[in-house]
């Protein structure tokens, strides 16, 4: 079977890999669609994503959907041909966590995530024609959610977790800084959760147009001179750009809350943080998700439309070009999807 494999910085290839076999408690999937995530692009750009460094060839990808091909021994409640998406996380060990972190499995100290170089051997991902996963990682897709959209359940789960970290957003006015794929999904998740108004800010007119299509009431082009609003009680920072933090913190109302879902650099970076103290801001981190991928599937089935986010589709054979397009915001790309099975790109 074919798979998208990164070997180091600037080196992504479509290679042949052995077809997987379903072991006890596992299923094999025929994958249909896979999304390119920021971590996939970072592995291609830098040979690393944060502190995770590529030290051996790694199959990329953790945003996928497809259909069940084969069942391993002991698997029940799953049908061959069933459309599914996949929760990418596997806890290593017995899963025991301190009481203060009960239920927050995204903060478990050792998690193997599909398409991650965090550990050796690396955890191969699912940008491939087939993959074997545990049956309990499957999230069935209802008829209303095609596999094209099901591949976005994972990043939508990230966005929904960030909204959950903000608390009850019903009737609240929210600013989202950064309208890339996660920021625009946060916009959609906020509207779905009942926010009164959502303002999105970015430096890209194309990204802002997508944010509007995803539900933003107001968009602000910072590069064109638009200023962030003042005294916003709740702000979600989705750009991950340290240079933006000063203005973002200054936009937060005194005693307000800032949810940080954009990944910040792992190395020292200059940032103006004085308002964090003088405005007594609550700064909340948001990392991956617990099981909001299940909520994401339900939200899409209930009408949350992710289609405006999808700007490009490529065949698996063209994965190298797909990575280049996804990594270059000048192409107008937001979410780039790979067609992992044979067939048209519609």
The confidence score (pLDDT) of residue 219 equals 98
Tokens in use for 116?
A: 């991650």
The confidence score (pLDDT) of residue 101 equals 95
Q: Which residues of the chain have pLDDT under 70?
A: none
The confidence score (pLDDT) of residue 267 equals 82
Look up the CATH superfamily of 159-285: NAD(P)-binding Rossmann-like Domain (3.40.50.720)
Q: Where are the domains of the chain?
A: 2-152+306-339, 159-285
The confidence score (pLDDT) of residue 345 equals 85
**3-state SS, residue 200:** strand
**C-alpha to C-alpha distance for 70 and 313, rounded to whole angstroms:** 27
**C-alpha to C-alpha distance for 307 and 45, rounded to whole angstroms:** 27
Which residues have C-beta within 8 Å of that of residue 277, sequence separation ≥ 6? none
Q: Confirm whether pTM is higher than 0.85.
A: yes
**C-alpha to C-alpha distance for 65 and 346, rounded to whole angstroms:** 15
Q: Which residues are 329's β-sheet partners?
A: none
The 10 Å Cβ neighbour count of residue 98 is 8
Sign for the pseudo-dihedral over CA of 25, 105, 55, 154: positive
Give the class (CATH, top level) of 2-152+306-339.
Answer: alpha beta
The confidence score (pLDDT) of residue 266 equals 81
Residue with tokens 């973002």: 248
CB 87 within 8 A of CB 291: yes
The confidence score (pLDDT) of residue 50 equals 84
């Amino acid at each position: 079977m074919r798979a998208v494999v990164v070997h180091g910085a600037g080196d992504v290839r479509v290679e042949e890999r052995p077809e997987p076999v379903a072991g006890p408690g596992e299923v094999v999937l025929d994958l249909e669609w896979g999304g390119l995530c920021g971590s996939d692009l970072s592995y291609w750009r830098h040979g690393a994503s944060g502190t995770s460094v590529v030290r051996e060839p790694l199959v990329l990808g953790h945003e996928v959907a497809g259909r069940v091909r084969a069942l391993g021994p002991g698997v029940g409640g799953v049908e061959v041909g069933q459309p599914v998406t996949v929760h990418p996380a596997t806890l290593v060990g017995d899963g025991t966590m301190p009481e203060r972190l009960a239920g927050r499995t995204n903060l478990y100290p050792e998690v193997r995530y599909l398409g991650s170089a965090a550990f050796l051997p690396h955890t191969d991902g699912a940008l491939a024609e087939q993959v074997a996963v545990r049956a309990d990682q499957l999230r069935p897709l209802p008829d209303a959610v095609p596999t094209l959209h099901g591949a976005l359940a994972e990043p939508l789960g990230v966005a929904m977790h960030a909204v959950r970290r903000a608390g009850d957003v019903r009737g609240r006015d929210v600013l989202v800084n950064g309208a890339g794929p996660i920021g625009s999904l946060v916009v959609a998740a906020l509207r779905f959760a009942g926010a009164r108004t959502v303002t999105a800010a970015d430096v890209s007119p194309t990204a802002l147009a997508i944010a509007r299509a995803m539900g933003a009431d107001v968009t602000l082009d910072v590069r064109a001179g638009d200023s962030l609003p003042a005294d916003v009680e709740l702000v979600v920072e989705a750009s991950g750009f340290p240079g933006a933090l000063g203005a973002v913190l200054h936009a937060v109302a005194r005693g307000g809350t800032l949810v940080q879902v954009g990944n910040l650099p792992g190395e020292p970076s200059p940032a103006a943080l004085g308002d964090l103290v003088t405005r007594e801001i609550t700064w909340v981190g948001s990392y991956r998700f617990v099981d909001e991928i299940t909520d994401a599937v339900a939200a899409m089935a209930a009408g949350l439309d992710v289609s405006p986010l999808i700007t490009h589709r490529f065949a698996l054979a063209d994965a190298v070009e797909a990575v280049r397009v996804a990594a270059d915001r000048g192409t107008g790309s937001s979410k780039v999807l790979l067609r992992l099975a044979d067939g048209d790109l519609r």
